[in-house]
Structure 1
Amino acid sequence: MSAPAEGVRLQKVLAGAGLGSRRACEDLISAGRVSVDGEVVRELGTRVDPTAAVIHVDGLRLQLDPGVVTLALNKPRGVHSTMHDDRGRPALAELVADRPERLFHVGRLDADTEGLLLLTNDGELAHRLAHPSYEVPKTYVARVTGRVARGLGRRLKDGIELDDGPARVDRFTILEQGPDSAVVELVLHEGRNRIVRRLLDAAGHPVQRLTRTRVGPVLLGQLRPGATRVIDGEELGRLMSSVGL
């Protein structure tokens, strides 16, 4: 790698990204845990352009542009997955009105579905997360009508034919079983419109309530409905790595 004559010392950039003191960051560099533009860097005098360099630590990408932000949002039921709705219905912009960035949503959740939705102004990250070739897994928890038979998981993994082609899940778990309803968890990586609802309906178990709890490595956790949190540090690095950034 040809280091720029002008620039910022790599250990200073790492320290500014929250990876510890400059001495600790020097140790990261000396140990060969840092790469710049795809090449491992061990020289402590290396200078980089933080606005252009692609830096990874332990294989995880650092986001060095302070103007780029990615948020986790717990979308409430009744809110539409659009920043502004031309029919005046509740929309996402109302939930992030305090943010200065011009954000856009990654994928969609139908109005009746709640849970994790990602918002960002990182165009490349958003594009890759939404692109089917990267097969980012998404986890949903659903309360469904009816008692779930043991064979349902295998049936869903094998695939069920819908009106726009077959759909299947990667994993299926029964979390609770009642006399006339059940709570199930599904993991799948495709994002066709209302795919989880249509899949469970076709299997004979209409959805009563649906929540998305995970996108790739990002968890909904205890985030309250309507609230957001910034995805940064290692969590952001794992999210970016999941789509090859």
Structure 2
Amino acid sequence: MARPFKQQRDTTRKAPQAAPVEVDADGVALPQHTQRLHKLLALAGLGSRRDMEELIANGRVTINGQTAQVGAGVTAHDMVRVDGRPLRLPFEAELPQVLIYHKPEGEIVSQDDPEGRATVFDKLPRIKQGKWIAIGRLDINTSGLLIFTNSGELANRFMHPRYEVEREYAVRVFGELTEEQMAMLTQGIELEDGPASFDRIIAQGGEGANHWYQVIIREGRNREVRRLFEAFQLPVSRLMRVRFGPVNLPPRVKRGSMLKLEQKQVVELLEWAGLPVPKAPLKQLTQREKDKATTVFVPKVRKQRGSVLNRVPRELDAEGSARPNTTRSGAAREGAKFGSKESSDRTSNGRDNAARKPSAKKPVNRRIRQSTDLAPTKRQTKKTS
């Protein structure tokens, strides 16, 4: 009987390297299959790792009913809650979602605005896992490229100052820079919050008093581009971001439009950022899903923000403190606010005297007027006399 072939042992093959061991804040090795809590929270899309450390330090995260500590480790069997709500942690990295939005002027990049202005977060589609994070900010008067993702680590890789990711803008100013001023802007000038400079500035021409410039900067300080031009008494009349790192604003994405990056493009972003790419194979999309994924769409507002004029006015009580007005209707409150005579006539006695639809209530039984109730006429007085 022939003996089976004995495979020669490959002596040149290296032994597989062990996976890195997670350690806690004190440097003690965590048990196997345990991962850092703040890392998993960032992967879940709740924010960057630094933000998650602050979240844990504030006592807003619990593990199995106990307040979590910074540097704590968790396993797949632990129950983690954030602000009392259970959270499913992604122990296996999932492919994040990335959206490109051409922000128009007049919208703010904030999730909460006391003035009730239009915000970009009102237009974002709903997401099952985590939340949308805006990569970088644009002020209300700035338009252009805005990136959203549900990966806190990817957002941190774009925005953290130590990575110095390039931001490219198209700027229109009222006036024109001299060659000496352009050289000063690349060398650096002193602003209120420290020195600042452009990596590159290129004149793009213009008509009349307006001139366009292409600038590249590696910082994201508040209104930095505008302040650099205003240092030479050149006000910026239009500012548009056209590139952020490796992501360019596609020409087909017009103002107010949005585009979702394909899976392969997201993988390329993760590789550029040096982040781990999920080992799971990419999801197989149908032809309809592929067409939808590459289609530019105009997002719809998910919720209407009430304007200042539609807010319920408040009255003052005897002590001068505000109290909600609950005795009058909305039309009466609007009329009282603007002092309209028409509204005051409509709302007298607390009801609207305008034409209404017939109500379904039963008619009230009323006493029929008798002839004795009427005042005697002149003819009746003559007969009686």
Is the structural similarity TM-score above 0.5?
A: yes
| Structure richer in strand, relative to its length | 1
The answer to whether residue 118 in structure 2 is matched with residue 90 in structure 1 is: yes
Other structure's SS at 2:121 match? helix
AA at the equivalent of 2:132:
L
Aligned-partner SS, 2:182 = helix
Cα 1:152–1:240 change in 2 (3 A) is: farther
TM-score w.r.t. the length of structure 2 is: 0.45
Give matches, 1:154-233, under 5 Å.
154-222=183-251, 223-233=253-263
Match of 1:141 among 170, 179, 187: 170
1:52 to 78, 92, 95: 92
Q: CA deviation at 1:139?
A: 0.3
Report the CA distance between 1:238 and its aligned residue.
4.2
State the TM-score, normalizing by the size of structure 1.
Answer: 0.69
Percent of aligned pairs sharing the same letter: 37
Quick one: distance in 1 between partners of 2:97 and 2:135?
13
- Report Cα offsets for 1:193-234 as digits up to 9, x if no partner: 011011111133210000000000101122111221122345
In structure 2, the partner of 1:80 is 108
CA contact (8 A) 1:153 1:171 kept: no
Q: State the partner residue of 2:182.
A: 153
Q: Relative to 1, partners in 2 of residues 1:241 and 1:155: Cα closer, same or farther, differing over 3 Å?
A: farther
Q: Within the alignment, does 1:99 sit opposite 2:121 as a pair?
A: no
CA distance in 2, matches of 1:227, 1:108: 17
Give 1:170 deviation, angstroms.
Answer: 0.7
Greater C-alpha radius of gyration: 2
Runs of 4+ with deviation above 6 angstroms: none
With CA pairs under 8 Å and 6+ residues apart, which has the higher RCO, 1 or 2? 1
Change (3 A) 1:167 1:217: same
Task: Tell me whether 136-145 or 200-209 shows the greater mean CA deviation.
Answer: 200-209
The CA deviation at 1:111 is 0.5
C-alpha separation in 1, matches of 2:203 and 2:266: 30
The separation in 2 between residues aligned to 1:100 and 1:216, in whole angstroms, is: 25
Contiguous gaps of at least 5 residues in structure 2: 1-15, 19-90, 276-385
Root-mean-square deviation (Å): 2.3
**Post-superposition CA distance 1:55-101 (Å, at most 9, x none):** xxxxxxxxxx25x21111111101001134232111012221x3335
Matched with 2:142 is 113
Name stretches of at least 5 consecutive residues in structure 1 with no aligned partner. Answer: 4-50, 54-64
Q: Distance in 2 between matches of 1:187 and 1:238?
A: 23
Equivalent position SS for 2:273: coil
Q: 1:194 to 1:130 in 2, by over 3 A?
A: same
- Structure 2 distance, partners of 1:132, 1:240, is 18
Report the AA paired with residue 103 of structure 1: W
Answer yes or no: is the 8 Å Cα contact 1:83–1:104 preserved in 2.
Answer: no
